Amino acid sequence: MRSISRIGELREALAPERARSEIGLVPTMGAFHPGHLSLFDAARQAGGLVAVSIFINPAQFGADEDLARYPRDLERDARLAEDAGVDVLFVPDADEIYPPGFDTWVDVGELGSLLEGAARPDHFRGVATVCLKLFEIVRPARAYFGQKDAQQAAVVRQMVRDLDLDLQLDVRPTVRDDDGLAWSSRNAYLSLEERTQALALPAALLAGQEAYRRGEDPVPVARRRLGALTADYLSVADFGGPTLVAAVRVGTTRLIDNVRLDEEKSA
């Protein structure tokens, strides 16, 4: 596995590879967990070269958010990526992606302003801009995203469609820990007690999914099951299909999760 931090070097490394085989890209912010590894696996199984980016994108964090304390462990990530069969790890620093004078942004419109976008103004502008840059730098045939961030996947899908980007998106199911909590780098912030409290989130989404199947409104059912957890939002949205989405606060940690309502299993 090659680890590269400069755009120019990455382009040089990928150009001959692109002629030989297709490139699969997995954009990440690092602190790898089984959710990330499932995307690396999917990319590897498609054949071709597997490129993974690690970039904690300052443009998608609000001023009062967790950019400074977001978990970072590049050594461990590099080991896990290598073991997962990743070919190229792209780890640019913030100046490489946003050099002095950078001032061009992707405006994602309404889809980027509701729910997660309402709670985190400019979040999806940052996400879309960095994804567009990564797509242009890596020029992958396929890019892999997790259903865990359902609105993000929907925003990126809309950008690919609206801007005629020449790549396929592959959105993979949410990977959960044995207790049902969706894997997230932010789970590391939770104390043992908070982690137990956080289990009300997947339980509420499942209860909502079951209610929907019975023909009931999933939102009040899920809200009741959330109990003492404070929800930033709990709502049904059309993110490639009807999706029950929620963001909750557990102590100082903000967690998001969702289930598709039109699918057999929660993912």
Query: Looking only at residues 129 through 168 of this chain, which bind ligand AMP when binding is defined by CB under 6 A?
Result: 145-146, 148-149
Nearer CB in complex with ligand AMP: 125/172: 172
Interface pattern 82-121 for ligand AMP (x via CB under 6 A) = ----------------------------------------
Residue (39 or 81) nearer to ligand AMP, CB:
39
Minimum Å gap between C-beta 101 and ligand AMP is 26
Distance of alpha carbon 17 from alpha carbon 88, whole angstroms: 11
Q: Residue 175, interface with ligand AMP (CB under 6 A)?
A: yes
* Pick 42 or 211: Cβ nearer ligand AMP: 42
The DSSP bridge partners found for residue 254 are: 249
Nearer to ligand AMP (CB atom), residue 174 or residue 253: 174
Q: How far is CA 217 from CA 131, 213, 235, 243, in A?
A: 35, 9, 10, 12
The residue from 129, 151, 174, 266 that contacts ligand AMP (CB under 6 A) is 174
Closest CA to 149 of 50, 57, 69, 51: 57
Catalytic residues: 36
User: Which residue has the closest beta carbon to ligand AMP?
Assistant: 146
Write out the binding residues for ligand AMP, residues 18-57 only, by CB under 6 A.
28-29, 35-36, 38-39
Nearer to ligand AMP, 140 or 211 (CB): 140
**Minimum CB distance to ligand AMP smaller for 221 or for 257:** 257
Q: Let me know: does 145 contact 152? Beta carbons within 8 Å.
A: yes
Cα pseudo-dihedral 56, 61, 67, 71, rounded to 10: -50
DSSP-derived 3-state class of residue 42: helix
User: Which contacts (CB < 8 Å, 24+ apart) does range 235-242 have?
Assistant: 235/115, 236/261, 237/114, 237/115, 237/150, 237/151, 239/150, 239/151, 239/153, 239/154, 240/150, 240/153, 240/154, 240/157, 240/171, 242/212
Number of residues that bind ligand AMP (CB under 6 A): 17
Using CA atoms of 54, 59, 130, 182 in order, give the dihedral in degrees to the nearest 10. Answer: 60
* Site string (177-206) toward ligand AMP, x via CB under 6 A: -----xxxx---------------------
Instruction: Provide the minimum distance between the beta carbon of 29 and ligand AMP in the complex, in angstroms, as a whole number.
Output: 4
Cα first-last separation, the chain: 31
The dihedral sign for the CA sequence 187, 182, 54, 100? negative
59 closest CA partner among 3, 114, 112: 112
**What is residue 211's DSSP assignment?**
H
Instruction: Give the nearest distance from C-beta 143 to ligand AMP in angstroms.
Output: 9
- Tell me how far, at minimum, the Cβ of 216 lies from ligand AMP, in Å: 27
Minimum gap (Å) between residue 76 Cβ and ligand AMP: 14
Residues 4 and 89: their CA atoms lie apart, in Å, by: 6
For position 244 contacting ligand AMP by CB under 6 A, the verdict is no
Q: Which residues of the chain form contacts with ligand AMP (CB under 6 A)?
A: 28-29, 35-36, 38-39, 145-146, 148-149, 172, 174-175, 182-185
